[in-house]
Amino acid sequence: MTSQRADAAARRALILDAADAVFGQHGVTAPLDLVVERAQVGRATLYRNFPDRTALVEALLQRTVARINRQVQSLGKRDDALFEVLEGMAARIVQSPALSDYWRAVDPDDPAIKAARHTIWGLLEAPIQRAIAAGLCRADLQVTDISLISGMLGAALRGKSREERAKLVARALQLLRTGLQGPVDAEG
Residues 80 and 1 in one domain: no
Amino acid at 10: A
Residues 43 and 116 in one domain: no
User: What distance in Å separates the CA atoms of residue 141 and residue 149, rounded to the nearest whole number?
Assistant: 11
Backbone angles phi, psi at 24, to 5 degrees: -65, -35
Exposed / middle / buried, residue 30 (Cβ in 10 Å: 0-12, 13-18, 19+): middle
- Find the domain containing 66 and state its range: 53-180
Task: Give the count of beta carbons closer than 10 Å to the beta carbon of residue 167.
Answer: 14
Residue 187 lies in a domain: no
Residues 39 and 127 in one domain: no
Residue among 85, 80, 83 at smallest CA distance from 67: 85
Mean pLDDT of 151-174: 86
Instruction: Give how far Cα 22 sits from Cα of 29, 83, 90, 166, Å.
Output: 10, 29, 20, 19
Residues 82 and 159 in one domain: yes
Residues 152 and 85 in one domain: yes
Residue 188 lies in a domain: no
Q: Terminus-to-terminus CA distance in the chain, angstroms?
A: 67
Q: What is the pLDDT of residue 186?
A: 47
Does residue 96 carry a pLDDT above 80?
no
Kindly report, residue by residue over 30-46, the tens digit of the pLDDT.
Answer: 999 999 999 999 999 99
Does residue 8 carry a pLDDT above 50?
yes
Mean pLDDT of 170-186: 81
CATH number of the structural domain spanning residue 16: 1.10.10
Residues 23 and 82 in one domain: no
Q: Give how many domains the chain has, as a whole number.
A: 2
User: What distance in Å separates the CA atoms of residue 79 and residue 97, rounded to the nearest whole number?
Assistant: 29
Alpha carbon 164 to chain centroid distance? 19
Does residue 122 carry a pLDDT above 90?
yes
Does residue 77 carry a pLDDT above 90?
yes
Residues 73 and 154 in one domain: yes
CATH number of the structural domain spanning residue 150: 1.10.357.10
User: What distance in Å separates the CA atoms of residue 16 and residue 134, rounded to the nearest whole number?
Assistant: 38
Mean pLDDT of 117-126: 94
Does residue 188 carry a pLDDT above 50?
no
Q: What is the pLDDT of residue 185?
A: 54
